[in-house]
Amino acid sequence: MGSKSNGSKRVKMDSDLVVRGRDDGDELFIEDFGNEAEDEQRTMALDMKSRFNNCETQRNLLRIYPKGTRIGSSNYNPLVGWMHGAQMVALNMQGQGKHLWVTEGMFRANGGCGFVKKPDLLLNRDFDPRESLPIKTTLQVQIYMGEGWHSDFHHTHFDLYSPPDFYTRVGIAGVPADTRMMETTAIEDQWIPVWDKVFEFPLTVPELALLRIEVMEYDTSKTPDFGGQTCLPLAELRTGIRCVPLHDQKGERFKSVRLLMGFRFI
Ligand SMILES: [Ca+2]
C-alpha cells in the first residue's frame, strides 16, 4: 500500500475517493478517503463517472484499498469498485459485516478459485453504473422456513425465557438501481420458523448482482440478535427449491442452520 506520489497525478473527486493515475499508464489507483462514519448511502453515492469511466479499466489495472485512517478496520462497499471494473478491491479482513459478506459471496463464483471474470458489459462498452437501464429479469425469491438454530445455539442464546423470534432479510447488492433489502415479519417463539413469503427483485444489471440473505432475531427491548447470513452470486444461482446453508458473522458455515428457499427468474 505504498505511496505512489512519484509521477502520479491525483485528482480530487466530488466524493471522498481520489483517483491516482500513474503517468506510465500501467496502473490506475482509486484511493479510499473514507472514514469510520461512512454509511451505505454515502458509499453508494460515490460517483467516479465524471473523471473516471470503465473504459479505463478495460485498458489498465485498477486497485482500490482501504484508507489507513479506518482505524476500526471498517470497509467500503466493494461493489463501488467492481461496478467500475476494478480488478482488485482490497478490504480490511479483520472485522466482519455486510461488505465482507458480499466479498465472500462474489468469490463463491467460479468454483471459489479466487478469480471471477468481469461481465461482458464491463469489457465491451463504457458502462455507467448510474445509467437508467430497462429491467432485464426479475428474481423471485420464496422463503419457506428455517431450521438448525436449536442444534447450533444454546437454548438461552437468543431469548432467556422463550424460543426465539426469527425474521429474514433478503435483498440484492448490485448497481444502485437494483440494490434493496426486504424482510419478513418475525415468527414469535419458534425454533423452526415458517415464513412462507415471496419477494420479487426487478434487476437492470443481473450480471453485477448478488443475493444477500440475513436472519435476525427480534427483541422488543434491544437491537436484534444475529441468526445467520449468506451471499450468493446471482449469475450462478440455481433455480428451484433449495436448501441454503447459513454462515456466522465471520463467514464460517453453521453446522446445522439452513433455510428452505425457492428461486426463479420471471
Ligand atoms: Ca426475541
- Domain with residue 194: its CATH number is 2.60.40.150
Stated pTM of the model: 0.83
Do 260 and 141 belong together in one domain?
yes
Q: 221 C-alpha vs ligand 1 centroid, how far in Å?
A: 9
Look at the chain and report how many structural domains it folds into.
2
Cα(220) to ligand 1 centroid in Å equals: 7
Do 166 and 247 have their domain in common?
yes
Say if residue 147 is in the same domain as residue 91: no
Distance from the alpha carbon of residue 148 to the mean position of ligand 1, in angstroms: 17
Statement to judge: residues 141 and 259 lie in one domain: yes
> Is 177 contained in some domain?
yes
Distance 60 CA to ligand 1 centre (A): 51
C-alpha cell read off for 191: 425454533
Statement to judge: residues 181 and 260 lie in one domain: yes
Q: Which residues surround ligand 1, an ion (CB under 5 A)?
A: 159, 165, 219
Q: Are residues 22 and 78 in the same domain?
A: yes
Cβ atoms of 211 and 139 closer than 8 Å? yes
Q: Is 92 exposed, middle or buried (0-12, 13-18, 19+ CB in 10 A)?
A: middle
Of the candidates 71, 95, 119, which is a domain's last residue? 95
Write down the pLDDT at residue 31: 53
Q: Is residue 200 part of a domain?
A: yes
Ligand 1 centroid – CA 92 distance (Å): 32
Answer yes or no: is 128 within a domain. no
Give me the DSSP letters along 45-72. H---TTT--HHHHHHSEEEEE--TT-TT
Kindly give the distance from the C-alpha atom of residue 184 to the centroid of ligand 1, in angstroms, as a whole number: 15
Cα-to-centroid distance, 32 and ligand 1 (Å)? 38
**102 within some domain:** no
Whether residues 141 and 90 share a domain: the answer is no
C-alpha 164 to ligand 1 mean position (Å): 5
Range of the domain at 44: 8-95
As a whole number of angstroms, the distance between CA 171 and CA 193 comes to 19
Residue 127 within any structural domain of the chain: no
Q: Ligand 1 center to residue 141 CA distance, Å? A: 25
Task: Examine the domain organization and report whether 198 and 258 are in the same domain.
Answer: yes
Whether residue 229 lies inside any domain: the answer is yes
For residue 228, how far is its CA from the centre of ligand 1 (angstroms)?
15
Asked if 90 and 171 sit in the same domain, the reply is no
On whether residue 120 sits in a domain, the answer given is no
- Of 95, 119, 146, the residue at which a domain comes to its end is 95
pLDDT along the chain (266 residues), means of 10: 40 42 44 49 43 71 81 87 89 90 95 93 86 95 98 96 97 96 97 98 97 96 94 96 97 97 97
Backbone angles phi, psi at 117, to 5 degrees: -70, 140
Q: What is residue 52's predicted lDDT score, i.e. its pLDDT? A: 56
CB burial of 59-68 (b: ≥16 within 10 Å; e: otherwise) equals ebebbbbbbe
Structural domain includes residue 236: yes
Residue 22 Cα to ligand 1 middle (Å): 54
Are 261 and 178 in the same domain? yes
Q: Within this chain, do residues 231 and 164 fall inside the same structural domain, yes or no? A: yes
Residues 83 and 147 in one domain: no
